[in-house]
Amino acid sequence: MRYIISYVSTQIRELDPSEVVHILHETETRNDKFGVNGLLVYSEGNFFEVIEGEMEKIKDLYRHILKDERHKDVILLFQKEIHKPLFDEKDSHFISENTLYRKMEIEHFNECIQDLDQQTRGMVNQMLRVMGMQASAGDVD
Ligand SMILES: Cc1cc2nc3c(=O)[nH]c(=O)nc-3n(C[C@H](O)[C@H](O)[C@H](O)COP(=O)(O)O)c2cc1C
């Protein structure tokens, strides 16, 4: 059974850019290795992550993430079973506020989550807006 979990959290202290890059790279490498896909966004001290993969693996990973001392105030946004994989193999996206390719990555991510129900997609889009990764309807260029 495939499973998806999403949460937001806050860095425990001011992280310098190299520490953020380290978390993003560590996550990317481990997720590729363990068949986990999704999106990790960092912006202004907050993290937003969506992880998708085999159910036991995802639940276990989330337990590890909860214990990670680099962040706090982890708020679970949703967790649910899904009926087929949302992403292509090794389709992970790791984005920080300075990443230049983020627009393309976000567009691709949005295409991948089309099969999720409307409410869940709405929540993801809301979070992406809060994290400054997606324009709001009222935004002016
Ligand atoms: C915000 C944040 C997101 C993380 N996301 C992942 C992730 O998606 N996959 C992963 O393997 N580790 C992720 N980690 C790292 C894990 O919390 C943990 O360090 C890693 O799984 C190794 O766990 P272990 O040292 O208990 O074996 C994340 C850490 C932080 C702070």
How do residues 81-130 score in pLDDT, each as one tens digit? Answer: 999 888 877 666 666 665 545 677 788 888 889 989 999 999 999 999 89
Among all chains, which residue has been given the structure tokens 């967790």? 79
Residue nearest to atom 19 of ligand 1 (CA): 68
11 lines ligand 1 (CB under 6 A): no
Task: Specify the pLDDT at position 101.
Answer: 54
Q: Which two tokens stand for residue 19?
A: 């520490």
Task: Specify the pLDDT at position 85.
Answer: 86
Residue nearest to atom 21 of ligand 1 (CA): 64
Among all chains, which residue has been given the structure tokens 């993430």? 65
Residue nearest to atom 24 of ligand 1 (CA): 64
Q: Which two tokens stand for residue 87?
A: 């992403």
CA atoms within 13 A on the CB side of 61: 25
40 lines ligand 1 (CB under 6 A): yes
Please, what are the domains in the chain?
A: 2-130 (3.30.70.100)
Strands (E), the chain: 2-11, 37-43, 46-54, 71-82, 92-96
User: Which is higher by pLDDT, 62 or 87?
Assistant: 62
In whole angstroms, give the CA distance from residue 100 to residue 95: 9
Task: Specify the pLDDT at position 65.
Answer: 97
How do residues 42-58 score in pLDDT, each as one tens digit? Answer: 888 999 999 999 999 99
Q: How many helices (H) and strands (E) does the chain have?
A: 4, 5
In whole angstroms, give the CA distance from residue 108 to residue 58: 22
